């Protein structure tokens, strides 16, 4: 049975609107025409700050790595004790570096490495022999002339010194020095000859060393890839990127220094030869009689930065004094002009910033290198100091917080910071990354 349907409930009265207190105090906002008013500008987000990839910090050495480091220290100590016999091998390393470049290119073509070495050896020997045949005969003639006329040169210089108008104090100092020098030669003690005997023995050992150097270079170039792989296998795997980066930095400095010195030596020698020939025509014939000897001295001493050109100018000025004061002044002007052109035009273009050091650091390195290893140490002091600077900067960036990757550390070094910087590099040099990863 259907239930009865009751009537609908009465509707409740609507609640009256309560006034808004804010609406009562604030006037109504005017209507905005969205068709004509541009939308409000939304501020663009600030660009993110450049981030440096967090590299893996150089970890503490494992027992195997500690053994390798100890072996390297012992080897370095042995080499230092026998440094007097290392001269031929240092020269051999330089030649190996130069000859390895064409050998590597020929090996990439497909030639066996030992065949490439033999071809490069043959070409090198032919070039050296032809250069010696061209230079040795006139050089020998000039040396013989210089030795024969040396007494007359010294007599002319002494006569010129006697007629110079020098202050009495300066003349007395020079006379005293010459007198002491003569007495020292006249009163020679037989025990003073011991260094001479030792030097002769060292020359004999050096000759033997230079005889075996060609064979040593042959095996060094032929087996260089195998030697490099063996050196990497002796290190922990996590050290490989850092070892490659350090070797890249050292070879970069050494390569730029060696290429620059070879070019500068040839350029300075040729410029000195041409300048002396011009002075022999315009000033005095004595310059032309010893042009080859003086130009070779200038080219070889170019290996010594700063002091090398000064030493090379001394024999030229002394020889020019036999022709008068005007000839000596002309020699000084010639060598000064060549040196200034070299420093301001050639050196920045050829060597770049790889071996750029402050002059005070260069002179300090020359003195220390000469004290450790004589003339050869003074010659190699500049690239060794420059390579040590770059390795220090690399390790500084690798030990930074956060540590830079090997590629980033090399990129920051190649950016030539005047001081060791801690800012992150904006981009990684592709060549640096390739050098580390290869």
Question: What CA–CA distance (Å, rounded) separates 125 from 129?
Answer: 6
Q: What is the pLDDT of residues 297-318, one digit of tens each?
A: 999 888 887 788 888 998 888 8
**Predicted pLDDT at 350:** 67
**Predicted pLDDT at 206:** 67
* pLDDT score of 165 more than 60: yes
Q: Which of 36-50, 162-176, 290-304, 336-350 has the highest mean pLDDT?
A: 290-304
Q: What is the pLDDT of residues 383-435, one digit of tens each?
A: 898 889 889 988 888 888 888 888 888 888 877 544 443 444 444 344 444 54
Residue 332: band (very low, low, confident or very high) from pLDDT cuts 50, 70, 90: very high
Question: What is the percent of the chain with per-residue pLDDT over 70, rounded to a whole number?
Answer: 70
**Predicted pLDDT at 274:** 93
Q: What is the mean pLDDT of residues 97-122?
A: 88
Q: What is the mean pLDDT of the chain?
A: 75
Better-scored residue on pLDDT, 347 or 78 = 78
Question: What CA–CA distance (Å, rounded) separates 40 from 367?
Answer: 71
1: which DSSP letter? -
**Predicted pLDDT at 351:** 61
**Predicted pLDDT at 422:** 40
CB of 320 closer than 8 Å to CB of 284: yes
* pLDDT score of 80 more than 50: yes
Residue 2: band (very low, low, confident or very high) from pLDDT cuts 50, 70, 90: very low
69 cis-preceded (ω within 30 degrees of 0):
no
* pLDDT score of 320 more than 60: yes
Instruction: Report CA 104 to chain centroid distance, whole Å.
Output: 23
Better-scored residue on pLDDT, 297 or 239 = 297
For 291, other C-beta atoms within 10 Å of its C-beta total 22
Q: What is the mean pLDDT of residues 110-126?
A: 89
**Of the candidate ranges 126-135, 351-360, 382-391, 425-434, the one whose mean pLDDT is the lowest:** 425-434
Q: What is the mean pLDDT of residues 64-77?
A: 83
Q: What is the pLDDT of residues 6-64, one digit of tens each?
A: 454 545 444 444 444 444 444 454 454 444 455 555 555 544 444 455 556 666 667 77
Question: What CA–CA distance (Å, rounded) separates 135 from 36?
Answer: 91
Helices 307-321, 291-300: axis angle to 10 degrees equals 160
**Predicted pLDDT at 273:** 92
**Predicted pLDDT at 179:** 67
Better-scored residue on pLDDT, 438 or 152 = 152
Q: What is the mean pLDDT of residues 235-260?
A: 85
* pLDDT score of 125 more than 90: no
For 258, other C-beta atoms within 10 Å of its C-beta total 16
**Predicted pLDDT at 335:** 92
* pTM exceeds 0.85: no
Angle 262-84-204 from CA coordinates, rounded to 5°: 90
CB of 405 closer than 8 Å to CB of 53: yes
Q: What is the mean pLDDT of residues 312-337?
A: 88
Better-scored residue on pLDDT, 23 or 160 = 160
Q: Which residue has the tokens 């190649």?
A: 414
Question: What CA–CA distance (Å, rounded) separates 387 from 146?
Answer: 41
């Amino acid at each position: 049975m259907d239930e009865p349907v009751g009537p609908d409930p009465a509707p409740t009265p609507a609640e009256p609107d309560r006034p808004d207190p804010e609406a009562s105090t604030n006037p109504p906002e005017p209507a905005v025409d969205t068709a004509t008013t541009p939308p409000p500008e939304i501020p663009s987000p600030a660009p993110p700050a450049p981030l440096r990839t967090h590299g893996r910090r150089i970890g503490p050495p494992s027992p195997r790595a500690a053994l390798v480091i100890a072996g390297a220290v012992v080897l370095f100590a042995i080499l230092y004790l026998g440094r007097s016999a290392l001269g031929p091998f240092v020269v051999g390393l330089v030649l190996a570096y130069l000859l390895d470049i064409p050998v590597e290119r020929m090996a990439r073509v497909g030639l066996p490495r030992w065949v490439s070495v033999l071809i490069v050896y043959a070409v090198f020997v032919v070039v050296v022999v032809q250069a010696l045949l061209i230079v040795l005969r006139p050089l020998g003639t000039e040396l013989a002339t210089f030795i024969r006329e040396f007494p007359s040169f010294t007599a002319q210089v002494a006569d010129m010194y006697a007629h110079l108008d020098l202050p009495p104090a300066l003349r007395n100092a020079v006379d005293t020095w010459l007198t002491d020098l003569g007495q020292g030669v006249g009163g020679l003690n037989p025990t003073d000859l011991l260094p001479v005997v030792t030097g002769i023995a060292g020359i004999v050992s050096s000759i033997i060393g230079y005889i075996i150097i060609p064979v040593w270079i042959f095996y060094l170039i032929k087996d260089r890839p195998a030697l490099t792989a063996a050196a990497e296998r002796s290190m922990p795997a996590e050290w490989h990127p850092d070892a490659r980066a350090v070797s890249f930095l050292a070879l970069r400095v050494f390569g730029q220094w060696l290429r620059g010195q070879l070019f500068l030596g040839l350029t300075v020698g040729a410029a000195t030869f041409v300048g002396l020939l011009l002075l022999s025509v315009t000033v005095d014939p004595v310059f032309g009689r010893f042009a080859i000897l003086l130009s070779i001295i200038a080219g070889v001493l170019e290996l010594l930065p700063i002091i090398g050109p000064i030493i090379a100018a001394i024999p030229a000025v002394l020889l020019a004094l036999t022709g008068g004061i005007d000839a000596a002044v002309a020699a000084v002007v010639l060598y000064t002009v060549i040196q200034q052109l070299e420093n301001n035009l050639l050196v920045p273009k050829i060597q770049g910033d790889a071996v750029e050091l402050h002059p005070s650091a260069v002179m300090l390195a020359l003195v220390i290198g000469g004290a450790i290893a004589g003339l050869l140490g003074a010659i190699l002091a500049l690239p060794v100091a420059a390579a040590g600077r770059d390795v220090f900067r690399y390790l500084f960036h690798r030990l930074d917080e956060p540590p830079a990757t090997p590629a980033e550390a090399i990129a920051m070094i190649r950016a030539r910071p005047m001081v060791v910087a801690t800012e992150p590099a904006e981009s990684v040099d592709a060549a640096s990354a390739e050098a580390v990863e290869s």
